[in-house]
Amino acid sequence: MTTVVQKFGGTSVGDVTKIKRVAEKIKKRMDEGKKVVTVVSAMGKSTDKLVELANDITDSPDPREMDMLLTTGEQVTISLVVMALKELGVDAVSLTGWQAGIETEDVHQDARITDINTENLEAHLNDGKAVLVAGFQGVSENGDITTLGRGGSDTTAVALAAALNAETCSIFTDVTGVYTADPRYVKNARQLDSISYDEMLELANLGAGVLHPRAVEFAKNYQVSLVVRSSMEEVEGTIVEEEASMEQNLIVRGLAFEDGLTKITIERLPNQFDTMSTLFSLLAEEGINVDMIIQQNTSDHALNVSCTINTSELGKAIDLLHDNKATLCYSLIRHESSLAKVSIVGSGMVSNPGVAADMFKVLGDEEIELKMVSTSEIAVSAVVPDEYMVKAAESLHAYFGLDANEKAKIEAVKEIV
Ligand code: ASP
Ligand code: MG
C-alpha cells in the first residue's frame, strides 16, 4: 500500500464548509486504497490574529511563548478535520508535531527539522486511519514546542513525505499551481506544467510566495515528488522535480518580485581586513537580514558599502549603526526606501550568456532606474523603485517569452535566439 502526503493551506481550511471538503478529498484518497497523511495550516488568517494578540500585550514577546501560542492554530484545524472525517465514516486521528515525532533544533520561531520518528504515525496508518498532522510545529530535544517559521506547514508536509517514503507530496493551495509570475500582478502570467527544484528554490527565495523555500530545499535533498495544485478546482497542478522539461527552449522560466526594501549605504569605512566581518556580524547579531551587498574601494583607500534590507528593519539597523559608529569608524550613512526587487529565474541561463544584458536593456528601454543588481547561476535580480515593480515585471515577462498570449511568446523567443 502506498503512502501519500498532502497539505492544505490556511485558505483551503478557512471555514467549516472548506474543512468538510478537505475531509471528502481525504476520504477519496483512502477509497483509492492509499495510506493518507494530511498536514494542515491554521484556519484562514488565524495565525496573524494570534500574532496580533501577542503584539497587543508586548513589543517583544518571549519566543518560547510565541511558539506555544502560534501552534494552537494548527491544532484547531487537525481536530476539526478529524471530526469531519468521522462524520463521513472514516477512522482518523489528529497528531501534533511532537506526537508525529517531528524533532527540531532548540530554536524558537524558525527551527529546522532535525529528525522524524515515524513510529507512532505509522502505527496509526497501519490501523487504517487517516492521519492529520499539525503543520509548522515540532518539539526540541528538551521538550519545548517549536515552530518552523511562517509558512512552515509546507516543510512539515515535505519532510513527512521524505521520512515516510511517500509516493507524492501534494500541496493544495488557493492557486492552481506555480505561475510564471504572480498572476495577481502580471496579467499575462500562466501556469507552468513543471519546474525544477533549483528554479523553484530561487523563485521561493526571491519572493514568490507559493512554496516555503525550506520545503523546496527538503524536496530537492530527498528527491520528494512534489505537486502544487488547487484545493478548489479539479485541475492539473505544477510538478516540482529534478529536471523540468525545457518548454520551447525558454531561457527564463519565471519571475519573482517583492517590495518593501531599503538600500543602506555606509560611506568611508576604514579599508581593513576585518571591516566587512565586523559590520555584517553586528547586523546579523541583531537579527537583521541583509540581502544584496556591494563593496567599493574609493580612490583614497576607504570603503563604501551598500546593502539591502527589509524596510521594516530600517529603524533597528540605523540605531545599531549609530550606536557602533566609534567601532565601525564610518563617516556617513545614507538610505533609500520604497524599493523593490524584480528577479528572473531559469536553468537555461547557465548556458546562455547575455541574459543579464537583455534584462538591463528591457528595464532601460522602459526608463526604469536600476539601484542595485545581483546574479546567481540561474537568476538575475534588479532593485528598482517600487512604483515600477509591476511594470518591470510585465516588460520582462513579455520580453522573455512568458506571456500567455502565444503570438507574443513566439515573437519574443525569436528575438532571444
Ligand atoms: N499557520 C502558519 C502561518 O501562517 C504556518 C503555515 O501556514 O504554513 O505561517
Ligand atoms: Mg503557505
DSSP annotation string for 19-33: HHHHHHHHHHHHHTT
Please choose from 150, 172, 211 the residue to mutate so as to test ligand 1's pocket, defined by most ligand atoms within 8 A of CB. Answer: 150
Of 140, 158, 174, the position where a domain reaches its end is: 174
The verdict on residue 21 lying in a domain is: yes
In this prediction, residue 416 carries a pLDDT of 53
Q: Is 206 helix (H, G, I), strand (E, B) or coil?
A: coil
Does residue 230 lie within any of the structural domains?
no
Q: Which atom of ligand 1 is nearest to the CA of 151?
A: 8
| β-bridge pairing 372-376 and 379-385 | antiparallel
Closest-CA residue, ligand 1 atom 6, reads: 151
- Indicate the residue among 174, 200, 219 that finishes a domain: 174
Alpha helices in 111-196 (DSSP H): 119-126, 153-163
The CB of 237 under 6 Å from ligand 1? The reply is no
Q: Check whether residue 284 and residue 163 sit in a common domain.
A: no
Longest dimension (CA), the chain: 78
Which atom belonging to ligand 1 lies closest to the Cα atom of 153?
8
Please count the other Cβ atoms lying within 10 Å of the Cβ belonging to residue 336. Answer: 15
CA dist 4 and 39 (Å) reads: 11
Q: Do 170 and 259 belong together in one domain?
A: no
Together in a domain, 272 and 163: no
Specify whether 124 is located in the same domain as 265. Answer: no
Asked if 137 and 283 sit in the same domain, the reply is no
Take residue 206 and report the three cell numbers written for it: 526571491
Structural domain count, the chain: 2
Distance between Cα 96 and ligand 1 center (Å): 14
Any domain includes 223: no
Residues 124 and 270 in one domain: no
Which string of DSSP letters, residue by residue, matches 59-71? SS--HHHHHHHHH
Residue type for 35, please?
Answer: K
Same structural domain, 149 and 260: no
Nearest to 283 by CA among 304, 258, 257, 306: 306
246 inside domain: no
CB of residue 45 inside a 6 A radius of ligand 1: no
Predicted confidence at residue 209, as pLDDT, reads 86
Domain end residue (candidates: 174, 189, 205): 174
| Ligand 1 atom closest to 136 (CA) | 5
Q: What is the pLDDT of residue 407?
A: 42
- Of 136, 172, 161, which Cα lies nearest the Cα of 151? 136
| Substitution candidate for ligand 1 out of 6, 70, 153, 231 with most atoms within 8 A of CB | 153
- 44 CB near ligand 1 (under 6 Å): no
Residues 139 and 28 in one domain: yes
Domain that holds residue 332: 255-399
Instruction: Give tens-digit pLDDT for 247-306.
Output: 656 899 999 999 999 999 999 999 999 999 999 999 999 889 999 999 999 999 999 999
Binning the chain into helix, strand and coil, the percentages to the nearest 5 are 40, 30, 35
C-alpha to C-alpha distance for 78 and 42, rounded to whole angstroms: 9
Within a domain: residue 222?
no
For residue 214, being part of any structural domain is answered with no
Cα(212) to ligand 2 centroid in Å equals 6
CA-closest candidate to residue 171, choices 207, 125, 209, 121: 209
Ligand nearest to the CA of 175: 2
Say yes or no: 38 and 142 in one domain.
Answer: yes
14 CB near ligand 1 (under 6 Å): no
- State residue 247's pLDDT score: 60
* Distance from Cα 157 to the centre of ligand 1, integer Å: 12
pTM of the model: 0.89
Angle at 405 between CA 401 and CA 411, to 5 degrees: 45
Q: State the virtual CA torsion across 235, 20, 175, 348 in degrees, nearest 10.
A: -70
Q: Classify residue 243: in a domain, yes or no.
A: no
Task: State whether 42 and 161 are in the same domain.
Answer: yes
Cell 511532537 belongs to residue: 98
Q: Identify the nearest ligand to the CA of 147 by its number.
A: 1
Q: Please work out whether the CB of residue 152 comes within 6 Å of at least one atom of ligand 1.
A: yes
CA-nearest residue, atom 8 of ligand 1:
151
Distance 41 CA to ligand 2 centre (A): 8
Look up the CATH number of the domain holding residue 153: 3.40.1160.10
Are 89 and 104 in contact, with CB atoms under 8 Å apart? no
Q: What is the pLDDT of residue 101?
A: 98
* pLDDT per residue as tens digits for the range 171-200: 999 889 999 999 999 999 999 999 999 999
Task: Per-residue pLDDT tens, the chain, 417 aa: give them.
Answer: 899 999 999 999 999 999 999 999 999 999 999 999 999 999 999 999 999 999 999 988 999 999 999 999 999 999 999 999 999 999 999 999 999 999 999 999 999 999 999 999 999 999 999 999 999 999 999 999 999 999 999 999 999 999 999 999 999 998 899 999 999 999 999 999 999 999 999 999 998 889 999 999 999 999 999 999 999 888 899 999 998 766 656 899 999 999 999 999 999 999 999 999 999 999 999 889 999 999 999 999 999 999 999 999 999 999 999 999 999 999 999 999 999 999 999 998 988 889 999 999 999 999 999 999 999 999 999 999 999 999 999 999 999 999 986 444 455 555 554
Residues 6+ apart with CB under 8 A from 389: 185, 257, 259, 340, 342
140 and 19 belong to one structural domain: yes
The domain that holds 352 is classified in CATH as 3.30.2130.10
What residues are paired with 107 via a beta bridge? Answer: none
Q: 203 lies in a domain?
A: no
* Grid cell of 75 as nine digits: 491544532
Check whether residue 262 and residue 168 sit in a common domain: no
